[in-house]
Structure 1
Amino acid sequence: MLDIVAITAPIFLIIGAGYLAMASRLLNREQIQGIGTFVLYFALPALVIRALTQNPLSDVIQPSYLLAYGLGSLLVFSLALVVSLTLRRKSLSESALLSLGMSASNSGFIGYPLAATVLGASPAAIFLALNMVVENLLIIPAALILAEAGRQSGASILTVARKTCVRLVRNPILIGLAVGLALATSEISLPGPLVQVIDMLANASGPAALFVIGGTLYGLKVGGMVNDVGQIVIGKLLLHPLAVLLLFMLQPPVDPVWIAGALLFACSPMISVYPLLGRRYGMAEVGAAALMVGTLSAFFTLSAAIWLMHHYGLLPD
């Protein structure tokens, strides 16, 4: 078990460093947001571009992975939506945001650094690119379209979908995906200095992202939101990875590394921008509290998940 803690501890120590930087007033909220902007607009797109251009496209695009991770995420999203609407009597907007928290992982800020530590940087970057496709083209648009439909009851679903898609097109991760796919399919070789710049930016993504998560957690509070936070955290850290595993089990056998990578990302807490996405629909405080509890709880659930994957042979000894 100490070997497992040795894997997860550095991840959360860097998160702790970000938290301490805020608590000691070494950095302020705006400076942490500036680092987050660097990661989101430069480091992560560079990481995605590198994953798509440094590996044969046939090795990157894995239909079985996309099917298992995509349908597993969609299954949890749908289940959460039904439970929130029918059993908990939440509005459509609230239900959509609760569902988003349970089915969209913090792939860039926690999933990638963790997978890179456990499996290596190259496969982790491929998993990140695939997960970004699922999250940015399926889960996040579905949640925002439903949330906006609940907020604008007079607008047609097509109008809401169009406006949401227009906003998503400007997402830097999607731009990175588009650039990476264009370069990979055209087989254009980038100049050496540009490749080096992409490598340098990509290598900075892991530690910088973890540091930002720690700074973001400082000052967040949980009080009075136990039911909502509990639903989101249990759904994200337990139901999401179980659903992804179930979808892999229903398919023909695949390389265990693909299953391990999917589970590491699915076991990660909710997306870091979750509170920001919830602000428009009155869910900012719930999102912030869920992000804090989910990130802290993930230390234990991820350690347990890695141990189980070792025990069942999904990870090398």
Structure 2
Amino acid sequence: MFDVLSITGPIYIAIALGYAVTRAGLFDKADMRTFGKFVISIALPALVFRTLATRHIAEVLDPTYFLAYCGGSLLTFAGAFFLYRRLGLPDIASTFRAMGMSCSNSGFVGYPIALLTIGPVAGVGLSLNMVVENLVMVPLLLTLAERGRGAGGPWYRAALDSLRRLAKNPLILAMAAGLLISIAGWSLPAPALRAVDLFAGASAGISLFVIGGNLVGLPLRGLGRRVAPIAFGKLVVMPTAVALMLALLVWAGLPPLSPELKAAAILMAAMPMMSIYPMLAQAYGQEDVAAPALLVTTLASFFTLSSLLWVMRHV
């Protein structure tokens, strides 16, 4: 068990440090937004670009991984959405509860843990996850949220608006540039590669620090029946759905993943929900559930991820 704690321990120490120094007033919540913007706009795009640009295209566009992770995400979302609708919740409330169960924090938490567990191949998993989350899940969720709010115009207008915004996203631009270099077979000059590495290497530590700082001041209302199912769905149901999709796709004839990529897919699915979850929910009046759910899920993930890593290593 100590070998597992040697992986998860530093991750949550970094999160705790971000929480402690922000709670003590050394940094403000506004500083966390600045740090987070650096990670999202500079560090993570540099990491994604380097991962894609320095590998052959066949290594980074693995159909089994993509279909398994996308299928597991959509299966978890659909099951949660229709379950909450059957319980009588409106579309918007059902959408954001389902989002909490099906959108992982691949960049801020998933990548650092995967990097410590499976090494450089974690960057491949991060890149594929970003494609699923940014091009499939987020547009779908925003489209359903707009529909639930009764926004005027056809449903596809919200989807198109979301895609237009994503086209300006630094992560998407970094993916496109990295894929272009990979497909063309070009090699980055050594000085340029080292410059990219400087920013890419900053992503893990700062992102965990930001997660901790952002937990300061989150409301504790809504714990219990409203939040526990979301945490359980994110930390248990989604990785189970991805693992089942992996088995189903191999049974259907797709090539199996390497042990490292298989571990990356399941680990990434077992992460807490993305850090922008409360901010997206706030725009639709759902922050009273989203913020406590993020707090509880992040705290509970220490135990669930430690258990999952132990099982993956010994079973």
Common fold: TM-score over 0.5: yes
**Secondary structure in 2 aligned to 1:214?**
helix
Partner of 1:106: 105
Partner of 1:74: 74
Q: CA deviation at 1:226?
A: 2.9
**Secondary structure in 1 aligned to 2:285?**
coil
Q: Which of 239, 250, 255 is the aligned partner of 1:241? A: 239
Q: Deviations 1:81-124 (Å, cap 9, x if unpaired)?
A: 1011112x11111211111111110000000000000111x201
In structure 1, C-alpha distance between the alignment counterparts of 2:257 and 2:152, rounded to whole Å: 47
Q: CA deviation at 1:153?
A: 4.5
Q: Sequence identity, in percent?
A: 42
Task: Point out where structure 1 has 5 or more consecutive residues left out of the alignment.
Answer: 313-317
TM-score by length of structure 2 reads: 0.95
Q: Which of 133, 158, 161 is the aligned partner of 1:160? A: 158
Q: CA deviation at 1:190?
A: 2.9
Conserved 8 A contact 1:98-1:228? no
In structure 2, C-alpha distance between the alignment counterparts of 1:211 and 1:220, rounded to whole Å: 16
Conserved 8 A contact 1:149-1:155? no
Partner of 2:303: 300
For 1:12, give the aligned amino acid.
Y
In structure 1, C-alpha distance between the alignment counterparts of 2:224 and 2:188, rounded to whole Å: 51
Conserved 8 A contact 2:54-2:187? no
Conserved 8 A contact 2:221-2:288? no
Q: Deviations 1:238-295 (Å, cap 9, x if unpaired)?
A: 0000000101111224322221111110111000110111111111232211111111
Conserved 8 A contact 2:278-2:290? yes
Task: Point out where structure 2 has 5 or more consecutive residues left out of the alignment.
Answer: 251-255
TM-score by length of structure 1 reads: 0.95
The answer to whether 1:129 aligns with 2:127 is yes
In structure 2, C-alpha distance between the alignment counterparts of 1:254 and 1:111, rounded to whole Å: 19
In structure 2, C-alpha distance between the alignment counterparts of 1:224 and 1:308, rounded to whole Å: 32
Conserved 8 A contact 2:222-2:288? no
Moved more, 234-243 or 218-227: 218-227
In structure 2, C-alpha distance between the alignment counterparts of 1:292 and 1:225, rounded to whole Å: 10
Partner of 2:253: none
**Secondary structure in 2 aligned to 1:251?**
helix
For 2:169, give the aligned amino acid.
N
**Secondary structure in 2 aligned to 1:146?**
helix
How many aligned positions are there?
Answer: 310
**Secondary structure in 2 aligned to 1:189?**
coil
Conserved 8 A contact 2:143-2:156? no
Partner of 1:207: 205
In structure 1, C-alpha distance between the alignment counterparts of 2:300 and 2:181, rounded to whole Å: 39
Partner of 1:315: none
The answer to whether 1:16 aligns with 2:16 is yes
Q: CA deviation at 1:232?
A: 1.4
In structure 1, C-alpha distance between the alignment counterparts of 2:301 and 2:203, rounded to whole Å: 20
Partner of 2:118: 119
Q: CA deviation at 1:186?
A: 2.1
Q: Which of 236, 260, 264 is the aligned partner of 1:261? A: 264
Partner of 2:89: 90
In structure 2, C-alpha distance between the alignment counterparts of 1:25 and 1:211, rounded to whole Å: 14
Q: Deviations 1:5-39 (Å, cap 9, x if unpaired)?
A: 11100000000010011111000111111111100
In structure 1, C-alpha distance between the alignment counterparts of 2:90 and 2:138, rounded to whole Å: 18
Partner of 2:28: 28
Q: CA deviation at 1:225?
A: 4.7
Q: CA deviation at 1:189?
A: 2.9
Q: Deviations 1:286-307 (Å, cap 9, x if unpaired)?
A: 2211111111100000000001
Instruction: Indicate the RMSD between aligned Cα atoms, in angstroms.
Output: 1.2
In structure 1, C-alpha distance between the alignment counterparts of 2:290 and 2:180, rounded to whole Å: 35
Moved more, 34-43 or 190-199: 190-199
In structure 2, C-alpha distance between the alignment counterparts of 1:291 and 1:306, rounded to whole Å: 21
